[in-house]
Chain A
Amino acid sequence: MRRVVLFGVALALLTAVPGAAQGQVLRINNTAEPESLDPAIVTGVPEHRIISNLFEGLTTTDPRDLSPKPGMAASWMLSKDGLVYTFKLREAWWTDGRPVTAQDFVFAWERVLNPKSGAKYAQHLFYLKNGEAYNKGGVTDFSQVGVKAVDAKTLQVTLKNPTVYFLDVTGFYTLYPVPKWAIDAHGKDWVKPGKIVSNGPFKLASWVPQKDLVLEKNPRHWDAASVKLQKVIFLPTDDINTAYKQFLAGDSDWIPTVPPSQIDAAKTKPEYYVSPYLGTYYFRFNVTKSPVSDVRVRKALSLAVDRESLTAFVTKAGEVPSSSFVPAGLRGYEGPRGLGFDPAAAKKLLAEAGYPEGKGFPRTELLYNTSDLHRVITQAVQQMWKEHLGVQVDLVNVEWKVYLARQGSLDYQISRAGWIGDYVDPNTFLEMWKTGGGNNQTGWSSKRFDELMDQAARLVNAKDRMRAMQDAEKILLDEAPVLPLFTYVNKGMLSRKVKGWYPNILDQHPLKYISLER
């Protein structure tokens, strides 16, 4: 009997799959198994693709230009000094029918900042008054922290400094509300199918690790009427060559990357897309180690790199060559230009530093982590340095965690790196270079730079603030602890059936705007 039932189930499954493919079912190759679905825990992009549709924060993002739009908050007010936001929540419900309240946000934010929960992205709430102190244990009374539920539908947020981009941050998953009652009832199991309670345009239907994760439309969502997709399947294929083949075979509708070896072939297909990404590919110089402790050597190395050829013949996907650190195109920000390609000037600087024609240049290593792309890029730059400066730089390839450990402990001379912005503001690219910043990792420090950045953090006037950051970036590029190479691009394959998907610099595509056309 049981065998008959099993057979029936198997048959149903087999017939159900092609049936479900009809209609509004989107299949996304998510490139990795999500580490978690708990908004307080996650830090990655694959998780963002899921969670940003499963939950909804105070604000959501516009699918075209990523500007903040009302989400759980129907409206908000900002005090004159730019420090106090008052959010008015809309009538909205959790998937179990409970109303979403201001208290849910207070609970969620406390949970992120609470040292015991060990949330990796707690720093996204350090914008709040006393947020950082609470996370570090200096303040133990949460009522001292700048977030308060005035009533069930009013949330008042007090910031440490005026933060121009705070409404971008409220759309970020770390700041999403979470259901206290579900967490109390199920502990860490609360994010599993059947237990999870969420408030976004989609809800969790199933989740089998390394196999697939399925979201389906949440009929209780306040904006359910405008959601067109019925179902979204996330495939965790992490082998990008396999993922690319899955797309070609029609087994997925979107793959957010293309294997470097397939770029030329992919470019010829109508599904290929490429658009600028809010990220910079660069080299770090360890300014505490010879010979790159000499600013003339750093500048010479930078001047000897032909970024145009690098992007045209090596990376090939349409990357934008760049000599400055903040990517171009951020509203209101005119970044300074860095050091362009000038082999003659490079040679002169190197000679001044005591290495004419590269003579006597000490053994220098360029560290990179295992990846086909990093290998070809570092090889190309190595070749340029040899050709234009006569210096020999050795390439050192290490595995990811070793690379991170060596970079973090300044155990390198030059290392390749990349930085992707968290929000659309130059601050996310510049703040990291402050003295002792956790992501500085070059040993570089400039008092003037620190002052300008601190000044920018306090300024309310947008123009003055941008100017302070421009001056700061100029110092960064002049002293050259970094060698910017190019601005990243989003590249991937998107089925032509997919509508309502817009290229943007964070590669974020809210599913509630997407539909499929036959």
Chain B
Amino acid sequence: VLGFVTRRVAGFLPVLFIIVSLSFFIMRLAPGGPFDQDRALPEQVRANIEARYHLNESLWTQYIRYLGDVLRGDLGPSFRYPDRTVNELLGLGFPVSLLLGTCAMTVAVCLGGAAGLLAGVRRNSTVDYLTMSFALFGVSIPNFVLGPILMLLFALGLGWVPVAGWGTWRHLILPAFTLGTFYAAYVARLTRAGMLEVIGQDFIRTARAKGLREATVVLRHAVPSAILPVVTYLGPASAAVLTGSVVVETVFSIPGIGRYFVASALNRDYTMVLGTVVSYSVLLLGFNLVVDILYAYLDPRVQVDG
């Protein structure tokens, strides 16, 4: 397994290199620069600032300089927030995004799993139809719509939680549900499908024939097989939750790295754009690796050592 991981990680490096290089040059193609603003700067002042950030050098020199810095783990200064480095801002935002993502995934798994289980066991009952309608709803409603609706209902209307912001566990509830709902809906459908497939199989009939209680049959025998597709789905879903938090973080004013993803591109904060792209790439590659390893464990046909 170790060899497999090492080989995969080594394979990441050229991918990352290509991502960084492409982003670097594509970013520079966009019209406007980090220091274009409402009030035009006097020419000399502008030149002074550009010199300070090496923007007056040739693009090629800047590129080489940037690659060197990245290799040393330095993502550079933020143009937008001159007191801070990109490393510092991402370092502050990352734990926040991670916590939000984890909570959203917990919501997705618990809510979706329970709903799917119930729907699967009580097939074609009112419960089934209700949960599946909700699931359809959850899959189709985008989170920039769901967020404000939840805000109106639970923060403004009922006053149970704060509207937005960050700091206490109460701030986490709405964003976690907003972010998790789509995945909860998906998990519910997967779990239900898995249950339906498993529940008709011979070993379940055997379990029932042994005279086991229905709860034991479902929880001990059916569930472990039924949730296999859910487990494999969690890898890509986790990556999607982390990157998908861009909208939710903006709507709920949460200090995670998603906030910088879009804003820095709009601000032409070159180093910050590259910094977020690099972090998201590393995350996605990392999750893919985890999923590959999981697949190998769950499905013997996939060879880890081959």
Is B48 located at the chain interface by the 8 A CB criterion?
A: yes
Closest to B35 in A: A120
Contact stretch, chosen from A36-44, A324-332, A388-396, A468-476: A36-44
Q: How many A-B contacts at CB < 8 Å in the complex?
A: 149
Is A447 located at the chain interface by the 8 A CB criterion?
A: no
With known contacts A210-B253, A439-B39, A439-B40, A402–B31 Cβ distance under 8 A: yes
Chain A 13-35 residues near chain B, CB threshold 8 A? 13-14, 17, 33, 35
With known contacts A35-B80, A245-B156, A404–B37 Cβ distance under 8 A: yes
Report Cα–Cα, A441/B40, bound state, in Å. 9
Is A454 located at the chain interface by the 8 A CB criterion?
A: no
Is B251 located at the chain interface by the 8 A CB criterion?
A: yes
Is B235 located at the chain interface by the 8 A CB criterion?
A: no
Q: What residues of A have a CB within 8 angstroms of the CB of B48 in the complex?
A: 115-119, 122, 135
Q: Which of B32, B49, B52, B156 contacts A404 (CB 8 A)?
A: B32
Chain A 169-208 residues near chain B, CB threshold 8 A? 188-189, 191-192, 208
Q: Which of B32, B84, B168 contacts A401 (CB 8 A)?
A: B32
Majority SS at the chain B contact face: loop
Report Cα–Cα, A192/B92, bound state, in Å. 14
Report Cα–Cα, A115/B31, bound state, in Å. 26
Asked whether, in the complex, the Cβ of A209 is within 8 Å of the Cβ of B33, the reply is: no
Is A451 located at the chain interface by the 8 A CB criterion?
A: no
Asked whether, in the complex, the Cβ of A405 is within 8 Å of the Cβ of B31, the reply is: yes
Contact stretch, chosen from A246-254, A286-294, A372-380, A455-463: A246-254
Closest to A188 in B: B83
Q: What residues of A have a CB within 8 angstroms of the CB of B10 in the complex?
A: none
With known contacts A120-B49, A122-B45, A191-B83, A245–B32 Cβ distance under 8 A: no
B interface bracket (residues with beta carbon within 8 Å of A): 35 or more
Chain A 239-287 residues near chain B, CB threshold 8 A? 239, 241-243, 245-246, 248-249, 251
Q: Which of B80, B89, B168 contacts A17 (CB 8 A)?
A: B168
Chain B 1-56 residues near chain A, CB threshold 8 A? 30-33, 35-45, 48-49, 51-52
Asked whether, in the complex, the Cβ of A239 is within 8 Å of the Cβ of B45, the reply is: no
Q: What residues of B have a CB within 8 angstroms of the CB of A406 in the complex?
A: 31
Is B152 located at the chain interface by the 8 A CB criterion?
A: yes
Chain B 218-230 interface mask (CB, 8 Å, partner A; 1/0): 0000000000000
Report Cα–Cα, A406/B32, bound state, in Å. 8
How far is the CB of B118 from the nearest CB of chain A, in Å?
A: 34
Asked whether, in the complex, the Cβ of B45 is within 8 Å of the Cβ of A245, the reply is: no
Chain A 64-87 interface mask (CB, 8 Å, partner B; 1/0): 000000000000000000000000
Is A8 located at the chain interface by the 8 A CB criterion?
A: no
How far is the CB of A242 from the nearest CB of chain B, in Å?
A: 5
Q: Which of A17, A37, A405 contacts B32 (CB 8 A)?
A: A405
Of listed A120, A136, A251, residue having the most chain B CB within 10 A: A120
Q: What residues of B have a CB within 8 angstroms of the CB of A405 in the complex?
A: 31-33, 36
Asked whether, in the complex, the Cβ of A209 is within 8 Å of the Cβ of B92, the reply is: yes
Q: What residues of A have a CB within 8 angstroms of the CB of B200 in the complex?
A: none
Q: Which of A41, A208, A249 contacts B155 (CB 8 A)?
A: A249
Is A322 located at the chain interface by the 8 A CB criterion?
A: no
Asked whether, in the complex, the Cβ of B52 is within 8 Å of the Cβ of A116, the reply is: yes
How far is the CB of B30 from the nearest CB of chain A, in Å?
A: 7
Closest to A34 in B: B81
Asked whether, in the complex, the Cβ of B251 is within 8 Å of the Cβ of A242, the reply is: yes
Closest to B93 in A: A210
Contact stretch, chosen from A142-150, A230-238, A347-355, A502-510: A230-238
Is B300 located at the chain interface by the 8 A CB criterion?
A: no
Is A211 located at the chain interface by the 8 A CB criterion?
A: yes
Q: Which of A33, A115, A188, A248 contacts B82 (CB 8 A)?
A: A188
Is B290 located at the chain interface by the 8 A CB criterion?
A: no
Closest to B53 in A: A118
How far is the CB of A235 from the nearest CB of chain B, in Å?
A: 7
Q: What residues of B have a CB within 8 angstroms of the CB of A122 in the complex?
A: 42, 45, 48
Q: What residues of B have a CB within 8 angstroms of the CB of A243 in the complex?
A: 253
Is B142 located at the chain interface by the 8 A CB criterion?
A: no
Is B164 located at the chain interface by the 8 A CB criterion?
A: yes
Closest to A242 in B: B164
Closest to B161 in A: A249
Q: What residues of A have a CB within 8 angstroms of the CB of B38 in the complex?
A: 404
Asked whether, in the complex, the Cβ of A17 is within 8 Å of the Cβ of B167, the reply is: yes
Report Cα–Cα, A406/B263, bound state, in Å. 20
Chain A 144-175 interface mask (CB, 8 Å, partner B; 1/0): 00000000000000000000000000000000
Q: Which of B151, B256, B267 contacts A242 (CB 8 A)?
A: B151
Closest to A248 in B: B156
Q: What residues of A have a CB within 8 angstroms of the CB of B31 in the complex?
A: 401-402, 405-406
Q: Which of A13, A136, A408 contacts B40 (CB 8 A)?
A: A408
Chain B 91-134 residues near chain A, CB threshold 8 A? 92-93
Is B252 located at the chain interface by the 8 A CB criterion?
A: yes
Asked whether, in the complex, the Cβ of B36 is within 8 Å of the Cβ of A118, the reply is: no
With known contacts A118-B45, A408-B36, A249–B167 Cβ distance under 8 A: no
With known contacts A14-B168, A115-B44, A401-B31, A35–B81 Cβ distance under 8 A: yes
Report, nearest first, the 5 A-B pairs whose CB atoms are least far apart: A401-B32, A210-B255, A438-B40, A118-B49, A405-B32
Contact sample, A vs B, 15 pairs, CB 8 Å cutoff: A17-B167, A33-B81, A37-B83, A122-B42, A191-B83, A210-B93, A245-B155, A245-B163, A251-B162, A251-B164, A251-B165, A401-B31, A404-B32, A405-B36, A408-B36
Given contacts A36-B82, A405-B31, 4 further A-B contacts (CB under 8 A): A237-B253, A238-B263, A249-B155, A401-B33
